[in-house]
Amino acid sequence: MGQPSALGEGIDSWNATIFLYNSALKEVKTKVEILNDEFQQIHQYNPIEYVKTRIKTAESIVKKLKRNGYESSIDNMVKHVNDIAGIRIVCSFTSDIYKLAEMIGKQNDLTVVSIKDYIRHPKDSGYMSYHMLVTVPIFMSDRVVKTKVEIQIRTMAMDFWASLEHKIYYKFEGYAPEYISRDLRECSGIVSMLDAKMLQLNNAILEAKEAQEEDRDVV
């Protein structure tokens, strides 16, 4: 996980801080699972394909702080690194993304700090995902600590593209050849068209099923 001392603090401070982020991840993941179960009960449909969680490593945190011009300390890490605790929610369709985002935003004990919609406004690289930065209260024995969690919501196709992009840029240390970047952007357009087509197909299936049920009721 890297060395906590690289952040200029002792191991106890590091462990206490990471405990908070792990606790926040558990809280948010449980909320997401409950929302998925509720959706299944009401609509007989699961909008979520799978959920992944992760805590950023000490090495990654230090690199991000340096890249943004901050000294490596736990105080700066908490203040300036928003994606230490991350949860990724992968859905079947783009419509599910916005439904889930709305449901998450209505949770009384979550505070939405910011939203970045990279689906309607993709990054220049072609990256698409819906990001929510939220805080969740962690109830300790002697205090309540609001802790940040970054939520990423995307389709399976978007997740596949993002995974490939990460592997490519990791191999090239962030500087991939232009022809590779160009092909990635082209694939992003294909992903967008695929998601739109699959959503259209799903809607057509639901309409056909509804029509069948209406015909059966008439008979």
What is the CATH number for 8? 3.30.460.10
Position 131 in a domain: yes
- pLDDT-derived band at 1 (thresholds 50, 70, 90) equals very low
- pLDDT-derived band at 190 (thresholds 50, 70, 90) equals very high
Position 213 in a domain: no
Position 138 in a domain: yes
Q: Which domain holds residue 31?
A: 4-161
**Is 49 an annotated catalytic residue?**
no
Check pLDDT > 80 for residue 2: no
Cα diameter, the chain:
75
Could you give the CA distance from residue 177 to residue 183 in angstroms, rounded to a whole number? Answer: 10
Position 33 in a domain: yes
Tens-digit pLDDT profile for residues 91-142: 999 999 999 999 999 999 999 999 999 999 999 999 999 999 999 999 988 8
Q: What pTM was estimated for this model as a whole?
A: 0.87
Number of domains in the chain: 1
Position 91 in a domain: yes
Position 74 in a domain: yes
Could you give the CA distance from residue 66 to residue 77 in angstroms, rounded to a whole number? Answer: 11
- pLDDT-derived band at 90 (thresholds 50, 70, 90) equals very high
Position 9 in a domain: yes
Catalytic residue of the set 38, 59, 150, 207? 150
Beta strands in the chain (DSSP E): 48-55, 85-91, 111-117, 130-139, 144-155
Could you give the CA distance from residue 24 to residue 107 in angstroms, rounded to a whole number? Answer: 14
Tens-digit pLDDT profile for residues 27-56: 999 999 999 999 889 888 889 999 999 999
Position 37 in a domain: yes
Check pLDDT > 90 for residue 69: yes
User: Residue range 168-178: average pLDDT?
Assistant: 77
